[in-house]
Each structure stands twice: as structure tokens, then as C-alpha cells.
Structure 1
């Protein structure tokens, strides 16, 4: 489908340029040149550079939320579900490393309404994880001496910094890193 192809070309070019040189230092002209499309074609799908930046976030947030919902729907004991969720978040974050780089470097450059929307969607995601942690606490598996907001911040801080240190060509592949970070997190929240 041509329309999706053009939007994908523009998005890929924007991600690469935003990750390499920053959102503020990237012009619309550079994006369309890298994508091999006209400004008119880009503006057919994205109303502004802000709209394009938000679209990058939206894709990541939508993918990870859909994956979380699927994992939760599969069910099981809270610890098993949380383990699957943690591994998946790390793996999908590694798969989207350039998008993650853009996300954490440029979030503050979104318009205020768009920042609020990203915050709302991230909070909704964290609320689902909080429900899972509460279920694990009720099952007697997870510690209750630390607020769940701190437990969530603990895990996601590792995820948020992946783009600063993880390299796909490094010694560990994404599955190893996902399992290592998940194991560290689960050990830290288990009830003693």
C-alpha cells in the first residue's frame, strides 16, 4: 500500500536523523530528502515535525501496550506473568533502540498537549503493571515494604537507559540482556 509506504519511509528517516543529530537540529527538508519524498507527501501524513515525533512515540507505546495486554490475557501466576512482561519490554525496547533514543532525548520538545498524551499513555501502561504487582503481593510473592511506584520506577529506569549502553553487536544478545535484567528485578522484589 503506497500510503503506508510513504509514511513508513518518512518515519524511518526521521528516527535515524533524530537519533543521530537530535530533533532540534533536524529540518523537515533533511527528513524528506532522506526519505526520498516531497514535503507535500510528508505533510499528507504528518501535519508538522511535532506530529512526526509524536508518531514515533505512539508506535512504540501502542506496540508495547498491545504486547502487555496479550501477556496479561495469557494469564498465570503473577510472578510468571511479570517475568514474561519484563522480558518482552526489554526485547521490544532493544528492537526499537533508535526510537527509544529519540523518545528519551526529545520527549521534552513535544508540544504540551502531546507531552500530556504521552504521559497519560505511559501512566495507563504503568497502572496495568501496578495491578500485576498488587496481585503478586496478594499472592504473597512480592514484597510490600516498598511502594509499587518505586518498584515500577526501578525496573523501567533500566529499560529507559538501554539506548545509552546496549549495543546489538555487543557480547550479549537481546534475549540474554532481557533475562538478566528481568532476573535482577524479580530477585529485588520477591518477598523474603
Structure 2
């Protein structure tokens, strides 16, 4: 049996991912059925399985969509070799603004990935740990060089950043009193003020 017209249209894969992300964010991965995803996306199950072999593939692809961009941006920022203050500010700006731009997908990933325990999701979590360690390495090196004050461990400093960004989907609103750019700037100001080396 051939696919329906809805299944054959442009952007089908993106529609399926968008539907899955919204449902995972609203009601959780376990509570979401494949049928609910295809109903919301306006495709058939055959259309979904043409692009994704299983429901877990949807979560994995959402993770890649969200985190792949952040990891690529981190590598690009670090490759510029700028001073630690500029670099940390750029990282904070990217992760706040990037997360805000993909709020539904970020909510689905943050909520669900920690509960997944397959080999594939463990590899994705390893990428997240690599991201964290890169940020901590930046802070650690700057503290060792006396550029940043050693007022707190790199781990604690990094979690002061990640604690905000990984929960952004729970409190940030695009129509709220502050834009993502403003939040990023204030968070960077707060972190860097604490890290300013003092004579």
C-alpha cells in the first residue's frame, strides 16, 4: 500500500518530530503512543516508520536536533581562542538563546533523556558530559592562570549555568518580561562577576 498524500508531502519528517516533541513535553515519553504522534502529525504509521524505526528514534533525533547545535556552537566558540571571559560569555549566550529557540524540543529532551537507559541514549549522555567538561576545563584553566578567581570549583560554577539553562523550559516565556538575550546577558554578568580575579 502506498503512502498517503499527507505522508508524501514536504517536511513530513519535521512534522513528525515536531508532533513527537510536543507530545513528549506535554505528557511524557511513556504516556505517548505512536498513534498519538501520527494523529498529531497528520501522517500514517507507515509514514512514520518510513523515517523512524521505533518510538525511541524520535527522542534520539530530538536530542540531536537540540544538542547537536549546542555542541557544534561550543566547538566553534572554543576554536576562536579568545580570552576566557569572552569565551564563557559566548557559551552562556549560545546555550540560553539556543535553548529558548527550541523550547518544546528542549523540554522533551530534558524531561525524558535521564530516564532512558539504552546504549544509544547513553552515548548521547556521553556527549552532554563532554560538553560539561569542556566548559569546566575552560573555567579550570582560567582559574589556574589567575584570570578567574578560584571562589568556587569549576563543577559548581558550571552547574550554576546548567542549572538555569536545563530548566529554562519550565519558566521562560517568549512573551515574558525578559528576552532570551537579556537572560543570557544577566546570567553571564552574574557568573563572570563572581569569577572576576581580585588582587
TM-score normalized by the length of structure 2: 0.88
Structure 1 match to 2:142: 136
Kindly state the Cα deviation for residue 130 of structure 1 after the two structures are TM-superposed.
2.1
- Show the 5 A alignment for 1:82-121: 82-121=88-127
Within the alignment, does 1:169 sit opposite 2:152 as a pair? Answer: no
Within the alignment, does 1:38 sit opposite 2:38 as a pair? Answer: no
For the residues of structure 2 that align with 1:50 and 1:122, how far apart are their CA atoms? Answer: 18
1:19 pairs with one of 25, 29, 47: 25
Kindly state the Cα deviation for residue 106 of structure 1 after the two structures are TM-superposed.
1.1
Asked whether the equivalents of residues 54 and 110 of structure 1 are also in contact (C-alpha less than 8 Å), the reply is no
For the aligned residues, what is the CA RMSD? 1.8
User: Any unmatched runs of 5+ in structure 2?
Assistant: 1-7
Kindly state the Cα deviation for residue 3 of structure 1 after the two structures are TM-superposed.
8.8
TM-aligned CA distance change 1:170 to 1:39, over 3 Å: same
Kindly state the Cα deviation for residue 126 of structure 1 after the two structures are TM-superposed.
1.5
2:15 pairs with one of 5, 9, 14: 9
Structure 2 match to 1:63: 69
Residue deviations 1:51-72 (CA, integer Å, cap 9, x gap):
1111111111110011111111
Which structure dedicates a bigger proportion of its chain to helix?
Answer: 1
Matched residues, number:
191
Kindly state the Cα deviation for residue 110 of structure 1 after the two structures are TM-superposed.
2.3
TM-score normalized by the length of structure 1: 0.91
Greater Cα radius of gyration, structure 1 or 2: 2
Within the alignment, does 1:79 sit opposite 2:64 as a pair? Answer: no
For the residues of structure 2 that align with 1:159 and 1:186, how far apart are their CA atoms? Answer: 16
User: Any unmatched runs of 5+ in structure 1?
Assistant: none
